[in-house]
Chain A
Amino acid sequence: MMRIPRDAILPALFALVLALGVLLPLLMMVTISLNPNEQDIMVSMGSVRSFIPHAISLQNYIEVWTDPVHPFGRYLANTAFITFSTLLLSILFNSMAAFVLAQGTLPIRKPVMILILATLAVPGESLVLPQLMMAGWLGQVDTYQVQIVPGVANAMSIFLFYQFFARLPKELIEAARIDGFSFFQIYRHVAMPLSKPVISAIAVLQFLEIWNAYLWPVMVTRGPEFRPLSVAMSAYFGTNQAAWGNIMAFAVSMAVPVVLFFLILQRQFIASVMSSGVKG
Protein backbone atom coordinates (compact mmCIF):
# COMPACT_ATOMS: atom_id res chain seq x y z
CA MET A 1 0.00 0.00 0.00
CA MET A 2 1.06 3.48 -0.79
CA ARG A 3 1.24 5.84 2.18
CA ILE A 4 -0.65 9.08 1.71
CA PRO A 5 0.57 12.10 3.71
CA ARG A 6 -2.12 13.34 6.10
CA ASP A 7 -2.78 16.68 4.47
CA ALA A 8 -3.18 14.96 1.09
CA ILE A 9 -6.11 12.77 2.15
CA LEU A 10 -8.80 15.38 1.52
CA PRO A 11 -7.35 16.52 -1.84
CA ALA A 12 -6.98 12.86 -2.85
CA LEU A 13 -10.66 12.27 -2.09
CA PHE A 14 -11.64 15.32 -4.13
CA ALA A 15 -9.43 14.12 -6.97
CA LEU A 16 -11.28 10.82 -6.88
CA VAL A 17 -14.66 12.57 -7.05
CA LEU A 18 -13.39 14.72 -9.92
CA ALA A 19 -12.12 11.68 -11.82
CA LEU A 20 -15.42 9.86 -11.33
CA GLY A 21 -17.34 12.92 -12.50
CA VAL A 22 -15.33 12.88 -15.72
CA LEU A 23 -15.02 9.14 -16.22
CA LEU A 24 -18.53 7.90 -15.42
CA PRO A 25 -20.23 9.63 -18.38
CA LEU A 26 -17.45 8.37 -20.65
CA LEU A 27 -17.75 4.86 -19.26
CA MET A 28 -21.47 4.99 -19.92
CA MET A 29 -20.80 6.00 -23.52
CA VAL A 30 -18.51 2.99 -24.00
CA THR A 31 -20.85 0.56 -22.21
CA ILE A 32 -23.85 1.57 -24.29
CA SER A 33 -21.81 1.47 -27.49
CA LEU A 34 -20.85 -2.16 -26.85
CA ASN A 35 -24.40 -3.28 -26.20
CA PRO A 36 -26.15 -4.49 -29.38
CA ASN A 37 -29.51 -4.84 -27.66
CA GLU A 38 -31.41 -1.54 -27.88
CA GLN A 39 -34.12 -2.91 -25.57
CA ASP A 40 -31.54 -3.77 -22.90
CA ILE A 41 -29.94 -0.32 -23.22
CA MET A 42 -33.28 1.32 -22.49
CA VAL A 43 -33.98 -0.92 -19.52
CA SER A 44 -30.53 -0.52 -17.95
CA MET A 45 -30.28 3.25 -18.56
CA GLY A 46 -31.56 4.22 -15.13
CA SER A 47 -29.44 1.71 -13.22
CA VAL A 48 -25.81 1.09 -12.38
CA ARG A 49 -25.81 -1.41 -15.23
CA SER A 50 -25.57 1.41 -17.74
CA PHE A 51 -22.03 2.08 -16.47
CA ILE A 52 -20.76 -1.51 -16.38
CA PRO A 53 -20.08 -3.21 -19.71
CA HIS A 54 -22.22 -6.34 -19.57
CA ALA A 55 -22.64 -7.10 -23.24
CA ILE A 56 -19.58 -6.87 -25.42
CA SER A 57 -20.26 -6.76 -29.11
CA LEU A 58 -18.90 -4.67 -31.97
CA GLN A 59 -22.20 -4.83 -33.80
CA ASN A 60 -23.02 -1.14 -33.24
CA TYR A 61 -19.56 -0.18 -34.47
CA ILE A 62 -19.88 -2.30 -37.58
CA GLU A 63 -23.26 -0.74 -38.28
CA VAL A 64 -21.87 2.78 -37.87
CA TRP A 65 -18.78 2.15 -39.98
CA THR A 66 -20.70 0.51 -42.82
CA ASP A 67 -23.78 2.76 -42.86
CA PRO A 68 -24.24 3.75 -46.53
CA VAL A 69 -26.27 6.89 -45.67
CA HIS A 70 -23.67 8.19 -43.21
CA PRO A 71 -20.24 7.12 -44.54
CA PHE A 72 -18.17 7.32 -41.36
CA GLY A 73 -14.84 6.73 -43.13
CA ARG A 74 -15.54 9.57 -45.52
CA TYR A 75 -16.40 11.95 -42.66
CA LEU A 76 -13.25 11.01 -40.80
CA ALA A 77 -11.10 11.52 -43.90
CA ASN A 78 -12.81 14.88 -44.56
CA THR A 79 -12.17 16.09 -41.02
CA ALA A 80 -8.56 14.93 -41.05
CA PHE A 81 -7.88 16.51 -44.45
CA ILE A 82 -9.52 19.82 -43.52
CA THR A 83 -7.77 19.99 -40.16
CA PHE A 84 -4.27 19.22 -41.42
CA SER A 85 -4.51 21.47 -44.48
CA THR A 86 -5.73 24.39 -42.38
CA LEU A 87 -2.99 23.85 -39.81
CA LEU A 88 -0.23 23.60 -42.38
CA LEU A 89 -1.25 26.74 -44.29
CA SER A 90 -2.00 28.67 -41.12
CA ILE A 91 1.35 27.94 -39.52
CA LEU A 92 3.28 28.65 -42.72
CA PHE A 93 1.61 31.94 -43.66
CA ASN A 94 1.08 33.32 -40.17
CA SER A 95 4.63 32.63 -39.02
CA MET A 96 6.09 34.24 -42.14
CA ALA A 97 3.96 37.34 -41.66
CA ALA A 98 4.78 37.50 -37.96
CA PHE A 99 8.51 37.27 -38.72
CA VAL A 100 8.27 40.23 -41.09
CA LEU A 101 6.29 42.21 -38.52
CA ALA A 102 8.75 41.41 -35.72
CA GLN A 103 12.11 41.56 -37.51
CA GLY A 104 11.54 43.16 -40.91
CA THR A 105 12.18 46.65 -42.25
CA LEU A 106 9.02 47.23 -44.30
CA PRO A 107 7.49 50.62 -43.48
CA ILE A 108 3.92 49.23 -43.57
CA ARG A 109 4.65 46.97 -40.58
CA LYS A 110 3.05 49.32 -38.06
CA PRO A 111 -0.32 49.78 -39.79
CA VAL A 112 -0.48 46.04 -40.51
CA MET A 113 0.21 45.25 -36.87
CA ILE A 114 -2.57 47.63 -35.78
CA LEU A 115 -4.95 45.98 -38.25
CA ILE A 116 -4.10 42.55 -36.86
CA LEU A 117 -4.55 43.60 -33.25
CA ALA A 118 -7.89 45.18 -34.19
CA THR A 119 -9.18 42.00 -35.85
CA LEU A 120 -8.41 40.07 -32.65
CA ALA A 121 -11.48 41.74 -31.15
CA VAL A 122 -13.88 40.46 -33.83
CA PRO A 123 -15.65 37.24 -32.80
CA GLY A 124 -15.67 34.74 -35.66
CA GLU A 125 -19.36 34.05 -35.04
CA SER A 126 -20.28 37.56 -36.17
CA LEU A 127 -18.57 36.99 -39.54
CA VAL A 128 -20.19 33.75 -40.69
CA LEU A 129 -23.08 35.31 -42.64
CA PRO A 130 -21.02 37.66 -44.85
CA GLN A 131 -18.49 34.82 -45.27
CA LEU A 132 -21.34 32.60 -46.42
CA MET A 133 -22.48 35.25 -48.92
CA MET A 134 -18.91 35.57 -50.25
CA ALA A 135 -18.60 31.80 -50.58
CA GLY A 136 -21.86 31.83 -52.53
CA TRP A 137 -20.68 34.62 -54.89
CA LEU A 138 -17.51 32.67 -55.59
CA GLY A 139 -19.44 29.42 -56.07
CA GLN A 140 -17.45 27.74 -53.30
CA VAL A 141 -20.21 26.39 -51.05
CA ASP A 142 -19.87 22.69 -50.19
CA THR A 143 -16.17 22.23 -50.95
CA TYR A 144 -13.04 21.51 -48.95
CA GLN A 145 -11.53 24.95 -49.55
CA VAL A 146 -14.51 26.77 -48.03
CA GLN A 147 -13.81 24.90 -44.82
CA ILE A 148 -10.03 25.33 -44.96
CA VAL A 149 -9.46 28.93 -46.03
CA PRO A 150 -11.34 30.80 -43.24
CA GLY A 151 -9.27 28.98 -40.62
CA VAL A 152 -6.03 30.20 -42.18
CA ALA A 153 -6.91 33.83 -41.41
CA ASN A 154 -5.91 33.73 -37.77
CA ALA A 155 -4.81 36.96 -36.13
CA MET A 156 -4.20 35.20 -32.79
CA SER A 157 -1.68 32.90 -34.45
CA ILE A 158 0.17 35.87 -35.98
CA PHE A 159 0.14 37.59 -32.60
CA LEU A 160 1.61 34.59 -30.73
CA PHE A 161 4.33 34.10 -33.37
CA TYR A 162 5.04 37.84 -33.29
CA GLN A 163 5.59 37.82 -29.53
CA PHE A 164 8.05 34.96 -29.88
CA PHE A 165 9.97 36.36 -32.86
CA ALA A 166 10.22 39.84 -31.29
CA ARG A 167 12.15 38.31 -28.38
CA LEU A 168 14.76 36.52 -30.50
CA PRO A 169 18.24 37.80 -29.59
CA LYS A 170 19.38 40.60 -31.92
CA GLU A 171 22.89 39.11 -32.11
CA LEU A 172 21.50 35.91 -33.57
CA ILE A 173 19.70 37.68 -36.41
CA GLU A 174 22.74 39.95 -36.97
CA ALA A 175 25.12 36.98 -37.10
CA ALA A 176 22.94 35.21 -39.66
CA ARG A 177 22.80 38.38 -41.76
CA ILE A 178 26.61 38.72 -41.70
CA ASP A 179 26.87 35.09 -42.77
CA GLY A 180 25.00 36.17 -45.92
CA PHE A 181 21.57 34.77 -45.09
CA SER A 182 18.69 36.51 -46.81
CA PHE A 183 15.66 37.57 -44.76
CA PHE A 184 13.75 34.47 -45.82
CA GLN A 185 16.72 32.24 -45.03
CA ILE A 186 16.96 33.70 -41.52
CA TYR A 187 13.28 32.91 -41.07
CA ARG A 188 13.64 29.43 -42.54
CA HIS A 189 16.93 28.32 -40.98
CA VAL A 190 17.19 30.35 -37.76
CA ALA A 191 13.78 31.49 -36.53
CA MET A 192 11.61 28.50 -37.42
CA PRO A 193 13.85 25.79 -35.93
CA LEU A 194 13.87 27.78 -32.67
CA SER A 195 10.11 28.24 -32.54
CA LYS A 196 9.06 24.62 -32.05
CA PRO A 197 7.34 25.37 -28.72
CA VAL A 198 5.23 28.15 -30.27
CA ILE A 199 4.44 26.03 -33.31
CA SER A 200 3.24 23.18 -31.15
CA ALA A 201 1.21 25.49 -28.91
CA ILE A 202 -0.57 27.06 -31.87
CA ALA A 203 -0.95 23.72 -33.64
CA VAL A 204 -2.56 22.04 -30.64
CA LEU A 205 -5.05 24.80 -29.95
CA GLN A 206 -5.99 25.26 -33.59
CA PHE A 207 -6.21 21.50 -34.05
CA LEU A 208 -8.97 21.24 -31.45
CA GLU A 209 -10.71 24.33 -32.80
CA ILE A 210 -10.86 23.02 -36.38
CA TRP A 211 -11.44 19.35 -35.54
CA ASN A 212 -14.45 20.32 -33.41
CA ALA A 213 -15.76 23.21 -35.56
CA TYR A 214 -19.52 23.15 -35.95
CA LEU A 215 -21.25 26.46 -36.82
CA TRP A 216 -19.38 27.17 -40.06
CA PRO A 217 -19.39 23.58 -41.43
CA VAL A 218 -23.14 23.31 -40.72
CA MET A 219 -23.71 26.31 -42.98
CA VAL A 220 -21.39 25.41 -45.84
CA THR A 221 -21.81 21.66 -46.26
CA ARG A 222 -24.81 20.10 -47.95
CA GLY A 223 -24.23 16.34 -48.01
CA PRO A 224 -21.79 13.63 -46.94
CA GLU A 225 -19.23 14.43 -49.64
CA PHE A 226 -17.43 17.29 -47.87
CA ARG A 227 -19.09 17.10 -44.48
CA PRO A 228 -16.87 16.82 -41.39
CA LEU A 229 -17.45 14.48 -38.44
CA SER A 230 -18.92 17.08 -36.09
CA VAL A 231 -21.78 17.95 -38.45
CA ALA A 232 -22.27 14.28 -39.34
CA MET A 233 -22.45 13.37 -35.65
CA SER A 234 -25.15 15.96 -35.05
CA ALA A 235 -27.11 14.81 -38.13
CA TYR A 236 -26.76 11.20 -37.04
CA PHE A 237 -27.90 12.10 -33.55
CA GLY A 238 -30.91 13.95 -34.97
CA THR A 239 -32.10 11.15 -37.24
CA ASN A 240 -31.42 8.06 -35.10
CA GLN A 241 -32.78 9.18 -31.75
CA ALA A 242 -33.91 5.67 -30.86
CA ALA A 243 -30.62 3.93 -31.65
CA TRP A 244 -28.53 4.85 -28.61
CA GLY A 245 -26.11 1.97 -29.14
CA ASN A 246 -25.26 3.26 -32.58
CA ILE A 247 -25.10 6.91 -31.52
CA MET A 248 -22.65 6.03 -28.75
CA ALA A 249 -20.59 3.87 -31.12
CA PHE A 250 -20.42 6.87 -33.45
CA ALA A 251 -19.38 9.08 -30.54
CA VAL A 252 -16.64 6.69 -29.38
CA SER A 253 -15.32 6.25 -32.93
CA MET A 254 -15.13 10.01 -33.26
CA ALA A 255 -13.56 10.69 -29.86
CA VAL A 256 -10.97 7.94 -29.53
CA PRO A 257 -8.49 9.03 -32.22
CA VAL A 258 -8.33 12.59 -30.88
CA VAL A 259 -8.12 11.55 -27.24
CA LEU A 260 -5.32 9.07 -27.92
CA PHE A 261 -3.43 11.58 -30.03
CA PHE A 262 -3.49 14.17 -27.26
CA LEU A 263 -2.78 11.78 -24.42
CA ILE A 264 0.38 10.75 -26.27
CA LEU A 265 1.30 14.42 -26.67
CA GLN A 266 0.10 15.17 -23.16
CA ARG A 267 3.11 17.19 -22.04
CA GLN A 268 3.11 19.49 -25.09
CA PHE A 269 -0.66 19.76 -24.90
CA ILE A 270 -0.70 20.99 -21.31
CA ALA A 271 2.22 23.32 -21.97
CA SER A 272 0.47 24.87 -24.95
CA VAL A 273 -2.80 25.57 -23.19
CA MET A 274 -0.87 27.06 -20.30
CA SER A 275 1.29 29.29 -22.49
CA SER A 276 -1.67 30.44 -24.57
CA GLY A 277 -3.40 31.47 -21.39
CA VAL A 278 -0.52 33.26 -19.81
CA LYS A 279 0.32 35.16 -22.97
CA GLY A 280 -3.35 35.70 -23.72
Chain B
Amino acid sequence: MRIRTKGQGQELAMLLPALIFITALIVVPFLLSVWFSFTDQRLVPRPIPTKIIGTTNYERMFADPLFWQAIGNTVLFALIVTPVQLAMSLGAALVLNSAIPFRGFFRSVAILPLLLPMTVIVSIWAVLFRIPSGPFNAIYQWFAGSGNYVDFLGNPSTAMLAIVALSAWATFPYQMLIYLAGLQDIPQDLYEAARLDGAKSWQRFRYITWPGLRNVNIFLLIITTVGALKLFTQVDILTKGGPNGATTTIIHYLFKQGYATQKIGYASAVAVFFFLAVTAIALLQRRVLKNEGEA
Protein backbone atom coordinates (compact mmCIF):
# COMPACT_ATOMS: atom_id res chain seq x y z
CA MET B 1 0.00 0.00 0.00
CA ARG B 2 2.84 2.34 0.89
CA ILE B 3 4.59 1.75 -2.40
CA ARG B 4 1.38 2.29 -4.31
CA THR B 5 0.75 5.63 -2.59
CA LYS B 6 4.28 6.73 -3.38
CA GLY B 7 3.76 5.70 -7.02
CA GLN B 8 0.56 7.70 -7.20
CA GLY B 9 2.27 10.73 -5.71
CA GLN B 10 4.79 10.47 -8.52
CA GLU B 11 2.01 10.12 -11.06
CA LEU B 12 0.32 13.23 -9.74
CA ALA B 13 3.58 15.16 -9.92
CA MET B 14 3.98 14.09 -13.54
CA LEU B 15 0.41 14.90 -14.50
CA LEU B 16 0.09 18.27 -12.77
CA PRO B 17 2.29 20.56 -14.89
CA ALA B 18 0.44 19.79 -18.13
CA LEU B 19 -2.90 19.83 -16.35
CA ILE B 20 -2.16 23.27 -14.90
CA PHE B 21 -1.08 24.62 -18.30
CA ILE B 22 -4.19 23.27 -20.02
CA THR B 23 -6.47 24.60 -17.30
CA ALA B 24 -4.86 28.03 -17.03
CA LEU B 25 -4.37 28.60 -20.76
CA ILE B 26 -7.32 26.87 -22.41
CA VAL B 27 -10.09 26.11 -19.92
CA VAL B 28 -9.95 29.37 -17.93
CA PRO B 29 -9.65 31.64 -21.03
CA PHE B 30 -12.51 29.75 -22.63
CA LEU B 31 -14.76 30.31 -19.61
CA LEU B 32 -13.59 33.94 -19.35
CA SER B 33 -14.46 34.53 -22.95
CA VAL B 34 -18.00 33.21 -22.42
CA TRP B 35 -18.28 35.43 -19.33
CA PHE B 36 -16.87 38.54 -21.07
CA SER B 37 -19.31 38.10 -23.92
CA PHE B 38 -22.14 39.04 -21.53
CA THR B 39 -20.31 42.10 -20.14
CA ASP B 40 -18.99 45.43 -21.38
CA GLN B 41 -15.37 44.46 -20.57
CA ARG B 42 -12.68 46.74 -22.06
CA LEU B 43 -9.03 45.93 -22.68
CA VAL B 44 -7.72 48.79 -20.53
CA PRO B 45 -9.33 49.19 -17.08
CA ARG B 46 -11.73 52.11 -16.81
CA PRO B 47 -12.89 54.14 -13.80
CA ILE B 48 -16.43 52.79 -14.32
CA PRO B 49 -16.53 49.13 -13.26
CA THR B 50 -17.36 46.44 -15.82
CA LYS B 51 -21.01 45.42 -15.72
CA ILE B 52 -23.13 42.59 -17.03
CA ILE B 53 -25.13 43.67 -20.06
CA GLY B 54 -26.88 40.42 -20.93
CA THR B 55 -27.08 39.55 -24.58
CA THR B 56 -26.49 43.13 -25.80
CA ASN B 57 -23.14 42.17 -27.39
CA TYR B 58 -24.75 39.39 -29.37
CA GLU B 59 -27.60 41.64 -30.47
CA ARG B 60 -25.14 44.32 -31.61
CA MET B 61 -23.04 41.71 -33.39
CA PHE B 62 -25.97 40.31 -35.33
CA ALA B 63 -27.05 43.85 -36.24
CA ASP B 64 -23.61 44.85 -37.57
CA PRO B 65 -23.42 44.61 -41.37
CA LEU B 66 -19.60 44.32 -41.20
CA PHE B 67 -19.98 41.20 -39.04
CA TRP B 68 -22.19 39.59 -41.68
CA GLN B 69 -19.78 40.69 -44.38
CA ALA B 70 -16.94 39.05 -42.41
CA ILE B 71 -18.95 35.82 -42.19
CA GLY B 72 -19.78 35.98 -45.88
CA ASN B 73 -16.12 36.54 -46.76
CA THR B 74 -14.92 33.73 -44.50
CA VAL B 75 -17.47 31.28 -45.90
CA LEU B 76 -16.64 32.34 -49.45
CA PHE B 77 -12.93 31.86 -48.79
CA ALA B 78 -13.48 28.41 -47.26
CA LEU B 79 -15.83 27.34 -50.08
CA ILE B 80 -13.30 28.27 -52.77
CA VAL B 81 -9.98 27.47 -51.13
CA THR B 82 -10.95 24.02 -49.83
CA PRO B 83 -11.73 22.35 -53.18
CA VAL B 84 -8.92 24.24 -54.93
CA GLN B 85 -6.38 23.21 -52.34
CA LEU B 86 -7.54 19.59 -52.13
CA ALA B 87 -7.52 19.22 -55.92
CA MET B 88 -4.05 20.78 -56.12
CA SER B 89 -2.64 18.59 -53.37
CA LEU B 90 -4.23 15.39 -54.69
CA GLY B 91 -2.89 16.14 -58.17
CA ALA B 92 0.56 16.82 -56.78
CA ALA B 93 0.45 13.66 -54.67
CA LEU B 94 -0.57 11.49 -57.65
CA VAL B 95 2.24 12.95 -59.75
CA LEU B 96 4.85 12.61 -57.03
CA ASN B 97 3.73 9.07 -56.28
CA SER B 98 4.27 7.85 -59.84
CA ALA B 99 7.55 6.54 -61.21
CA ILE B 100 9.00 9.82 -62.45
CA PRO B 101 12.73 10.56 -62.62
CA PHE B 102 14.18 12.76 -59.83
CA ARG B 103 11.17 12.01 -57.66
CA GLY B 104 13.04 12.82 -54.46
CA PHE B 105 14.07 16.20 -55.79
CA PHE B 106 10.53 17.04 -56.91
CA ARG B 107 9.17 16.04 -53.50
CA SER B 108 11.65 18.30 -51.73
CA VAL B 109 10.71 21.19 -53.98
CA ALA B 110 6.99 20.63 -53.46
CA ILE B 111 7.21 20.85 -49.67
CA LEU B 112 9.09 24.17 -49.70
CA PRO B 113 6.03 26.46 -49.29
CA LEU B 114 5.08 24.62 -46.11
CA LEU B 115 8.44 25.51 -44.57
CA LEU B 116 8.22 29.21 -45.34
CA PRO B 117 6.72 31.50 -42.72
CA MET B 118 3.42 32.98 -43.92
CA THR B 119 4.85 36.49 -43.51
CA VAL B 120 7.58 35.62 -46.04
CA ILE B 121 5.08 34.10 -48.47
CA VAL B 122 2.91 37.17 -48.21
CA SER B 123 5.80 39.48 -49.11
CA ILE B 124 6.70 37.34 -52.15
CA TRP B 125 3.12 37.38 -53.37
CA ALA B 126 2.90 41.12 -52.80
CA VAL B 127 5.56 41.42 -55.51
CA LEU B 128 3.72 38.95 -57.78
CA PHE B 129 0.51 40.99 -57.45
CA ARG B 130 2.21 44.35 -57.81
CA ILE B 131 0.67 47.10 -59.91
CA PRO B 132 1.08 48.18 -62.58
CA SER B 133 3.75 45.73 -63.70
CA GLY B 134 4.29 42.82 -61.30
CA PRO B 135 4.68 39.35 -62.86
CA PHE B 136 0.94 38.58 -62.84
CA ASN B 137 0.14 41.91 -64.44
CA ALA B 138 2.88 41.33 -67.01
CA ILE B 139 1.07 38.13 -68.01
CA TYR B 140 -2.24 39.99 -68.03
CA GLN B 141 -0.78 42.61 -70.35
CA TRP B 142 0.12 39.93 -72.89
CA PHE B 143 -3.57 39.35 -73.36
CA ALA B 144 -5.06 42.75 -72.59
CA GLY B 145 -2.38 44.92 -74.16
CA SER B 146 0.18 47.08 -72.43
CA GLY B 147 -1.06 49.85 -70.19
CA ASN B 148 -3.82 47.65 -68.81
CA TYR B 149 -3.52 46.16 -65.37
CA VAL B 150 -5.56 44.60 -62.59
CA ASP B 151 -5.24 45.89 -59.05
CA PHE B 152 -5.56 42.35 -57.65
CA LEU B 153 -5.45 43.37 -53.98
CA GLY B 154 -7.10 46.77 -54.30
CA ASN B 155 -10.16 45.63 -56.18
CA PRO B 156 -13.00 44.23 -54.02
CA SER B 157 -13.93 41.66 -56.64
CA THR B 158 -10.43 40.16 -56.97
CA ALA B 159 -8.91 40.69 -53.49
CA MET B 160 -10.36 37.54 -51.96
CA LEU B 161 -9.44 35.44 -55.00
CA ALA B 162 -5.88 36.73 -54.75
CA ILE B 163 -5.79 35.61 -51.13
CA VAL B 164 -7.21 32.22 -52.14
CA ALA B 165 -4.40 31.72 -54.68
CA LEU B 166 -1.73 32.72 -52.19
CA SER B 167 -3.17 30.53 -49.43
CA ALA B 168 -3.55 27.47 -51.62
CA TRP B 169 0.07 27.81 -52.75
CA ALA B 170 1.24 28.36 -49.18
CA THR B 171 -0.18 25.24 -47.54
CA PHE B 172 -1.01 22.66 -50.24
CA PRO B 173 2.10 20.57 -49.36
CA TYR B 174 0.55 19.62 -46.02
CA GLN B 175 -2.47 18.02 -47.66
CA MET B 176 -0.20 16.60 -50.36
CA LEU B 177 1.92 14.73 -47.81
CA ILE B 178 -1.19 13.27 -46.19
CA TYR B 179 -2.53 12.22 -49.59
CA LEU B 180 0.86 10.59 -50.31
CA ALA B 181 0.53 8.60 -47.10
CA GLY B 182 -3.01 7.62 -48.11
CA LEU B 183 -1.87 6.52 -51.57
CA GLN B 184 0.79 4.31 -50.05
CA ASP B 185 -1.82 2.59 -47.89
CA ILE B 186 -3.73 1.34 -50.95
CA PRO B 187 -2.66 -2.27 -51.66
CA GLN B 188 -0.56 -2.45 -54.84
CA ASP B 189 -2.00 -5.81 -55.93
CA LEU B 190 -5.36 -4.10 -56.56
CA TYR B 191 -3.65 -2.03 -59.26
CA GLU B 192 -1.93 -5.08 -60.75
CA ALA B 193 -5.21 -6.99 -60.88
CA ALA B 194 -6.91 -4.02 -62.54
CA ARG B 195 -4.08 -3.74 -65.06
CA LEU B 196 -4.48 -7.42 -65.92
CA ASP B 197 -8.19 -6.82 -66.43
CA GLY B 198 -7.27 -4.05 -68.86
CA ALA B 199 -8.43 -1.09 -66.75
CA LYS B 200 -7.34 2.29 -68.12
CA SER B 201 -5.54 4.72 -65.83
CA TRP B 202 -8.70 6.80 -65.37
CA GLN B 203 -10.63 3.66 -64.41
CA ARG B 204 -7.90 2.63 -61.95
CA PHE B 205 -8.20 6.09 -60.35
CA ARG B 206 -11.99 5.99 -60.31
CA TYR B 207 -12.44 2.49 -58.89
CA ILE B 208 -9.31 1.93 -56.78
CA THR B 209 -7.55 5.17 -55.85
CA TRP B 210 -10.56 7.37 -55.14
CA PRO B 211 -12.43 4.86 -52.91
CA GLY B 212 -9.12 4.01 -51.24
CA LEU B 213 -8.67 7.64 -50.22
CA ARG B 214 -12.10 7.92 -48.59
CA ASN B 215 -10.94 8.34 -45.00
CA VAL B 216 -8.12 10.64 -46.04
CA ASN B 217 -10.60 12.79 -47.95
CA ILE B 218 -12.91 13.08 -44.95
CA PHE B 219 -10.04 14.01 -42.66
CA LEU B 220 -8.60 16.55 -45.10
CA LEU B 221 -11.96 18.10 -45.93
CA ILE B 222 -12.56 18.78 -42.23
CA ILE B 223 -9.12 20.13 -41.36
CA THR B 224 -8.87 22.22 -44.54
CA THR B 225 -12.27 23.81 -43.98
CA VAL B 226 -11.58 24.51 -40.31
CA GLY B 227 -8.15 25.90 -41.22
CA ALA B 228 -9.75 28.16 -43.84
CA LEU B 229 -12.16 29.58 -41.27
CA LYS B 230 -9.15 30.84 -39.29
CA LEU B 231 -7.79 33.00 -42.13
CA PHE B 232 -5.96 35.97 -40.62
CA THR B 233 -2.24 36.51 -41.27
CA GLN B 234 -2.45 36.96 -45.05
CA VAL B 235 -5.34 39.40 -44.72
CA ASP B 236 -3.80 41.37 -41.89
CA ILE B 237 -0.54 42.00 -43.74
CA LEU B 238 -1.76 42.38 -47.33
CA THR B 239 -5.12 44.09 -47.25
CA LYS B 240 -5.97 44.90 -43.60
CA GLY B 241 -9.43 43.55 -44.39
CA GLY B 242 -10.03 45.93 -47.28
CA PRO B 243 -10.85 47.14 -49.85
CA ASN B 244 -14.28 48.10 -48.49
CA GLY B 245 -14.26 45.14 -46.12
CA ALA B 246 -13.96 42.69 -49.02
CA THR B 247 -11.35 40.58 -47.23
CA THR B 248 -12.43 41.08 -43.61
CA THR B 249 -12.65 37.60 -42.07
CA ILE B 250 -14.15 36.57 -38.75
CA ILE B 251 -10.76 36.41 -37.02
CA HIS B 252 -9.73 39.74 -38.50
CA TYR B 253 -13.01 41.26 -37.31
CA LEU B 254 -12.47 39.74 -33.85
CA PHE B 255 -8.91 41.07 -33.78
CA LYS B 256 -9.97 44.58 -34.79
CA GLN B 257 -12.85 44.78 -32.30
CA GLY B 258 -10.96 43.22 -29.42
CA TYR B 259 -7.40 44.39 -29.86
CA ALA B 260 -7.47 47.52 -32.01
CA THR B 261 -10.76 48.93 -30.68
CA GLN B 262 -10.31 47.27 -27.26
CA LYS B 263 -13.92 46.12 -26.95
CA ILE B 264 -13.14 42.80 -25.24
CA GLY B 265 -16.75 42.09 -24.25
CA TYR B 266 -18.04 42.57 -27.76
CA ALA B 267 -15.15 40.68 -29.38
CA SER B 268 -15.69 37.81 -26.92
CA ALA B 269 -19.20 37.40 -28.30
CA VAL B 270 -17.59 37.06 -31.73
CA ALA B 271 -15.11 34.50 -30.31
CA VAL B 272 -17.91 32.44 -28.77
CA PHE B 273 -19.81 32.55 -32.06
CA PHE B 274 -16.64 31.50 -33.92
CA PHE B 275 -16.06 28.57 -31.57
CA LEU B 276 -19.67 27.37 -31.96
CA ALA B 277 -19.56 27.75 -35.74
CA VAL B 278 -16.27 25.86 -36.12
CA THR B 279 -17.44 23.03 -33.87
CA ALA B 280 -20.79 22.79 -35.63
CA ILE B 281 -19.21 22.71 -39.09
CA ALA B 282 -16.67 20.06 -38.11
CA LEU B 283 -19.33 17.85 -36.47
CA LEU B 284 -21.73 18.31 -39.37
CA GLN B 285 -19.10 17.43 -41.97
CA ARG B 286 -18.02 14.36 -40.04
CA ARG B 287 -21.59 13.17 -39.67
CA VAL B 288 -22.66 13.78 -43.25
CA LEU B 289 -19.52 12.19 -44.69
CA LYS B 290 -19.65 9.17 -42.38
CA ASN B 291 -23.30 8.48 -43.22
CA GLU B 292 -22.69 8.87 -46.92
CA GLY B 293 -19.90 6.32 -46.75
CA GLU B 294 -22.07 3.76 -44.98
CA ALA B 295 -25.05 4.15 -47.30
CB neighbours (8 Å) of A254 from chain B are 117, 119-120
Interface contact A131-B18, CB-CB below 8 Å? no
How many angstroms between the C-alpha atoms of A255 and B43 in the bound complex?
Answer: 34
Interface contact A22-B113, CB-CB below 8 Å? yes
Segment of A63-71, A112-120, A194-202 engaged in the interface with chain B: A112-120
Interface contact A133-B177, CB-CB below 8 Å? no
List B96-139 residues whose CB lies under 8 Å from chain A. 96, 98-103, 106-120, 122-128, 130, 133-135, 137-138
How many angstroms between the C-alpha atoms of A136 and B262 in the bound complex?
Answer: 13
A278 at the interface (CB under 8 A from B): yes
B181 at the interface (CB under 8 A from A): yes
Partner of A234, one of B108, B119, B274: B119
Q: Assuming A8-B99, A22-B112, is B32 touching A134 (CB within 8 A)? A: yes
Q: Is the interface of A mostly helix, strand, loop or mixed?
A: helix
Closest-CB distance, A132 to chain B (whole angstroms): 7
Interface contact A230-B123, CB-CB below 8 Å? no
A169 at the interface (CB under 8 A from B): no
CB neighbours (8 Å) of B21 from chain A are 93, 149, 152-153
Interface contact A104-B11, CB-CB below 8 Å? yes
Interface contact B133-A129, CB-CB below 8 Å? no
Interface contact A126-B25, CB-CB below 8 Å? no
How many angstroms between the C-alpha atoms of A254 and B32 in the bound complex?
Answer: 36
List A146-165 residues whose CB lies under 8 Å from chain B. 149-150, 152-153, 155, 158
List A247-280 residues whose CB lies under 8 Å from chain B. 247-248, 250-251, 254-255, 258-259, 262-263, 266, 269-270, 273-275, 277-278, 280
B83 at the interface (CB under 8 A from A): no
- Name the residue on A nearest B96 (C-beta): A15
B90 at the interface (CB under 8 A from A): no
How many angstroms between the C-alpha atoms of A129 and B130 in the bound complex?
Answer: 34
A233 at the interface (CB under 8 A from B): yes
Interface contact A25-B128, CB-CB below 8 Å? yes
Q: Assuming A11-B95, A126-B275, is B7 touching A18 (CB within 8 A)? A: no
Closest-CB distance, A267 to chain B (whole angstroms): 10
Number of interface residues of B (CB under 8 A): 99
CB neighbours (8 Å) of A129 from chain B are 33, 36, 254, 258-259, 264, 267-268, 271
CB neighbours (8 Å) of B32 from chain A are 130, 133-134
Interface contact B15-A123, CB-CB below 8 Å? no
List B201-239 residues whose CB lies under 8 Å from chain A. 201, 216, 219-220, 223, 226, 230, 232-233, 236-237
Return the CB mask of B1-33 against A: 1 if under 8 Å, else 0: 000101110111011011101101111111011
A178 at the interface (CB under 8 A from B): no
Return the CB mask of A2-31 against B: 1 if under 8 Å, else 0: 101101100110110011011101101100
Additional 10 contacts, C-beta under 8 A, given A130-B36, A266-B111: A45-B130, A112-B15, A121-B279, A128-B258, A152-B21, A184-B14, A215-B232, A234-B236, A266-B108, A277-B177
Q: Could you list some 5 contacts between A and B, CB below 8 A?
A: A19-B110, A32-B127, A47-B138, A134-B32, A278-B178
